Structure 1
Amino acid sequence: MSDDLAYRFGFLCVTRGRAPEAVTQWHRLDLVGQDLFVHPESTVQSVATERGDTAIVVGDIFVAHGVSPLDELLLSIADGDRRPLEDLSGRFALFVVTAGEIVVLHDPLGSQALFYARSGGIAGSHAALVAETLGVAQSRRVRQYMALPEYKARKTRFLPGDLTLFDEVALLPPNNELHLRGARTSRYWPIHPVKDSSREEAFAIWDEYFTNYARFLAPRYSPVLGLTGGTDSRSVIASLHSKGIELRCETWDSMPIQERERIDPMVAHLRVNHRWLDLSHRVDSTRFHELRSAAKKAAGFTRGTPLLPALMDDRAGARDVFLYGHGSGVMRGSYSRLFKPWLPEDPLKRHYALYAGPNRKDASRAYETFTLEALRNFLNRANYGSELHGADIGDLFYWEQRMANWAALQIATFSVTMQSHAALNSRRLFSTFWGIPGEARSTKELNKDVMRHYDPVLAEL
């Protein structure tokens, strides 16, 4: 039971005959000598070109930009063109089968995490599932690193680079694809330099994105969001609310008093179904404990024992999807050297400064050595030496490391209770906001401007 919850909405592509017991009751697809196992609650769709090349999507996918039908875009991808990926969003993994080779990609943010065996031939939705398939134990070195005081002092904990708690299992960075049999990665994005854009152009792309996202959500899901005083989730709420999407909101009681005082007026204004969650509450039931254990495993044992998914389970419906406000930091340039000119120019030193933060000044040799090694390997496997078309590597690092590791695993923990998405998840959206000149894109005023456009009252609460 706990495995089925931990790997909910998951998948595993494995050499025939090597499937672990956890997936034997899942749906199975034949991929040229490989078996693709898909959790019964996951959606699957596929297209094939005239010459037999195939694109298979596992999970939620929709056309976020433009007017081309989804099948047409998928056929182009199966034919080797990666440009259509700029117009797609959702939470998905994409398997492309061409001339006997299997290539695996995922959604823009990597919100559907994708892990693979460094030895090749195995890729899946959860690090623990890939490790179980390989029959390997947790890494002693990584556990020792996580026990270091510098790591434990981090406000936001996630492993550096593409590390997992298993030495033989790696995380695929977004904007890279995995050539499955040889476990080789290659970068396919950025595909062109960032173009200058105005705030009006950026808002037009934002509106197009949420118009299409709302069309995707309406017949399938009942969105649930965390209602806070922050701008990220409120800008998402304002956008979807304006598109006629009915929302349910939850708020947990760990916020400052000033922020708490804004919640009730927002609920009254939005007229949404809302409740407060007490983070000190525990339920002495088998289901509650199973959910917490499953969420811990879903995150590859790197996020403690999550509580929120279990607390929200009693109201979770079959159509519910939890929407995170993840993605705003990518647009704002949270790690960009444009707004942090003190950052080192050297990619490795810059990545270390951004990951380690102030702790690096007094870090032990063990912490520094391990972190630098992990980031050096990440830069290699994420192909930072390939053509980046002038993109700020700080922007890419925030996206491809922080979002793909910390945010994606947070999403995985919620999936034990309900489907989960990153609400801001579009390459075209990100790159358009990158083109806004000066410091305009680095402040949260952009999010407030979005709110003012859709809901002026909410923006000022």
Structure 2
Amino acid sequence: MNEVQNLYRDSKHSLSSKVQKVRTAAWHYRKGGIQQVKLWRWNQVVQQPIPQRKTTLPEGGLRRDYPRLRNAWIEKTQQAQAWAPASETHNYRNVFAQGWFLGSGDDNPSLPSAWVSTVFGEKNFSCDPALQVMHKGSAQQHHQLLLLGQATDSAKKLRNSQQVAHELYSVLKSKRDSWADFDEAVTWLGGRFVVIARHGAETRVHVDAMASRSCYWGTTDSGEVVLASHSALIAEAVGDLSSTRAKWVLNHPDYHNPAGVYLPGTITSHDRTWLVFANCCLTIRQRTAEHKRFFPPRGSNPVPALSVEAATEAYLAEVRFQMDAILSSAPASIIALTAGSDSRAILNASLDLLQDAGTSAMTYHFFEKDAGHTRIDLLGANRLAEEAGLKHRILNLQPWDPKARFAKLYSRSFPVWARFGALARACYEGLSAEEELIIGVGGEVGTAFYLERDHPAVTPEVLAGKFTQDNFQYDAQLIAEFERYMAYTQLAPEHAGEIDLYDLFYWEHRMSGWAAYWYSELDFGATVALPLNSRRVFCAMLGVPFEDRVRKSVYGTLNSWVDIAAGSTNPGGKN
């Protein structure tokens, strides 16, 4: 009973104190308006006792040979040397960074001399040593598997690519006629990866949930199907560097986008290059290739109806697993932080993990242009980083300089289209190659990017209107391109598993092209990690009512849990 009485007395005292403060504030407002209220609050702050340092500086602390000062100098220097920028580590030589190529060798492009090779079936696989590769089986065996990049599985508690590759290879060896079990095993993986699996003479190629680690393919004049990380490598292998379709889009007088233009439909940087899109896979049999949707599985609905609280619990669990795996895989990490809701949600979901790992926050800004939207991001992110107790690193974006050393490296890897070269350079010259760069893109798959959904059917004309709001949307050639895209990705109600086609279109088209191209540019430096890149995250967020998706109720619920936790430790609230 005494405990109850004490709790009642404390809460009553806290409430009385808050009521008194509100009354005092109201009195000051009546007397002098908001300025007097601010002055009153300021006087309250300055009257608070100044916290004292735990120890005072001893007499010997005034000299340069003071041990603690010398140790601080040494530690600072060592840290600067240990985390040298990627540009110093690679010396502007890592063309096609974290890239790879799979071909017979007869039509191979000119690959960097530092790349390493192995045999995969009747083909040769070559890659940048900086790319993490797991290789299971051998060319002499009936089964062989390559896992490129980072992969996890939260349900099976597989926290790294080595464990995932072992699991996938076990499924592959037990394969009979259908790829269904293998497809299912890949479906729920998180991370950023490409999987290439060979079963006899047939090869299956999967990309991750957002196709964030790109896989391009093409067919040579001799009929061989080749695969690669970069469109330019495929173009060189097939002997056709033309980019007529891409240049038609990029130079179209009616196509404008303040956020930057990108390529629509199946169009890639080169005319004879194709892309494997999210939720689709590529099957290669002899000299033929078939691009086909595998998710959602035909006749199934992988998106259960969920309450907002249940969806938030699923979001929290998956993001925390992915973040824990990411932070355990590299010696240092940086989280790209903005003032947006995606950043705040990831920060709240994994705050303790970020703090334990000593993760830094990073925000970029065009200081020369002082763009309003990035300035808002910078200031908001700085406040979030301060509240979270994270160091905040600022990258200053410079105007593009075609004569810079980075420009030569960049244009060799991406000769046709520049997605965000200025940011790629800032990260290459400002971040370490040993660090992992955590980016929170993908949340808008769940929070309903396209709000207007009043068309009776999703047609090529509708998709053209979603791709661009200007007059380019009415171009007959663009509409024909989206008709080709819908056929290539099987974007149709009978293949959607009750997922809205607007959501699938944003998920697959924007993430596979606009976003993935950006990550490929960033691969010159730090390794990109995507904690939201999991179908478990997307299916949970897609499972709540549409109105709650638009309101971003999952994020709101997560934020409310933060507030409740803070209130439970501070019953009096913030003054």
User: Considering the TM-score relative to the shorter chain, is it more than 0.5?
Assistant: yes
CA deviation after TM superposition for structure 1 residue 205, in Å: 2.1
Does the 8 Å contact 1:105/1:177 carry over to 2? yes
> Does the C-alpha gap of structure 1 residues 35 and 433 become closer, same or farther in structure 2, counting only changes over 3 Å?
same
Q: Which amino acid aligns with 1:227?
A: L
> Does the C-alpha gap of structure 1 residues 444 and 246 become closer, same or farther in structure 2, counting only changes over 3 Å?
farther
Q: Does 1:331 align with 2:463?
A: no
2:547 maps to which residue? 439
Q: Which amino acid aligns with 1:56?
A: L
Does the 8 Å contact 1:65/1:212 carry over to 2? no
2:241 maps to which residue? 137
Paired positions, count: 447
> Does the C-alpha gap of structure 1 residues 197 and 129 become closer, same or farther in structure 2, counting only changes over 3 Å?
same
2:57 maps to which residue? none
Residues of 1 paired with 2:114 and 2:399: CA distance?
35
* More off after superposition, 270-279 vs 375-384: 270-279
Does the 8 Å contact 1:5/1:291 carry over to 2? no
TM-score, normalisation: structure 1: 0.88
Q: Which amino acid aligns with 1:229?
A: A
Q: Which amino acid aligns with 1:109?
A: M
1:200 maps to which residue? 309
Does the 8 Å contact 1:87/1:427 carry over to 2? yes
Aligned to 2:111, the other structure's residue is in SS state helix
> Does the C-alpha gap of structure 1 residues 133 and 62 become closer, same or farther in structure 2, counting only changes over 3 Å?
same
2:251 to 140, 147, 172: 147
1:164 to 262, 265, 268: 268
Q: Deviations over 1:8-53 (max 9, x none)?
A: 111111123322222454222212211111211111113459x842
Does the 8 Å contact 2:255/2:472 carry over to 1? no
1:184 maps to which residue? 290
Q: Does 1:348 align with 2:456?
A: no
> Does the C-alpha gap of structure 1 residues 138 and 427 become closer, same or farther in structure 2, counting only changes over 3 Å?
same
Q: Does 1:397 align with 2:505?
A: yes
> Does the C-alpha gap of structure 1 residues 415 and 249 become closer, same or farther in structure 2, counting only changes over 3 Å?
same
1:39 maps to which residue? 128
Does the 8 Å contact 2:146/2:196 carry over to 1? yes
Does the 8 Å contact 1:326/1:424 carry over to 2? yes
User: Structure 1 stretches of 5 or more lacking a match?
Assistant: none
Residues of 2 paired with 1:445 and 1:141: CA distance?
41
What does 1:185-264 correspond to in 2, within 5 Å? 185-191=291-297, 192-193=300-301, 194-221=303-330, 222-243=332-353, 244-253=356-365, 254-256=371-373, 259-264=377-382
* More off after superposition, 254-263 vs 52-61: 254-263
Q: Does 1:93 align with 2:201?
A: no
Q: Which amino acid aligns with 1:211?
A: R
Does the 8 Å contact 2:92/2:405 carry over to 1? no
* More off after superposition, 119-128 vs 410-419: 119-128
Does the 8 Å contact 2:147/2:196 carry over to 1? yes
Aligned to 2:479, the other structure's residue is in SS state helix
CA deviation after TM superposition for structure 1 residue 101, in Å: 1.5
> Does the C-alpha gap of structure 1 residues 387 and 246 become closer, same or farther in structure 2, counting only changes over 3 Å?
same
CA deviation after TM superposition for structure 1 residue 267, in Å: 2.7
Higher relative contact order (CA 8 A, sep 6+): 1
Q: Does 1:414 align with 2:535?
A: no
Residues of 1 paired with 2:507 and 2:255: CA distance?
21
RMSD: 2.9
> Does the C-alpha gap of structure 1 residues 310 and 3 become closer, same or farther in structure 2, counting only changes over 3 Å?
closer
Q: Indicate the structure (1 or 2) with the bigger Cα radius of gyration.
A: 2
> Does the C-alpha gap of structure 1 residues 283 and 102 become closer, same or farther in structure 2, counting only changes over 3 Å?
same
Q: Deviations over 1:401-425 (max 9, x none)?
A: 1110000001111111221133310
Aligned to 2:214, the other structure's residue is in SS state coil
2:184 to 62, 83, 88: 83
CA deviation after TM superposition for structure 1 residue 196, in Å: 0.7
Aligned to 2:421, the other structure's residue is in SS state coil
* More off after superposition, 186-195 vs 149-158: 149-158
1:273 maps to which residue? 391
> Does the C-alpha gap of structure 1 residues 232 and 267 become closer, same or farther in structure 2, counting only changes over 3 Å?
same
Q: Which amino acid aligns with 1:152?
A: H
CA deviation after TM superposition for structure 1 residue 185, in Å: 0.8
Aligned to 2:539, the other structure's residue is in SS state helix
Q: Does 1:108 align with 2:212?
A: no
Aligned to 2:380, the other structure's residue is in SS state helix
Residues of 2 paired with 1:185 and 1:151: CA distance?
29
Residues of 2 paired with 1:447 and 1:455: CA distance?
13
TM-score, normalisation: structure 2: 0.71
Aligned to 2:145, the other structure's residue is in SS state strand
Residues of 1 paired with 2:547 and 2:325: CA distance?
33
User: Structure 2 stretches of 5 or more lacking a match?
Assistant: 1-89, 366-370, 567-575
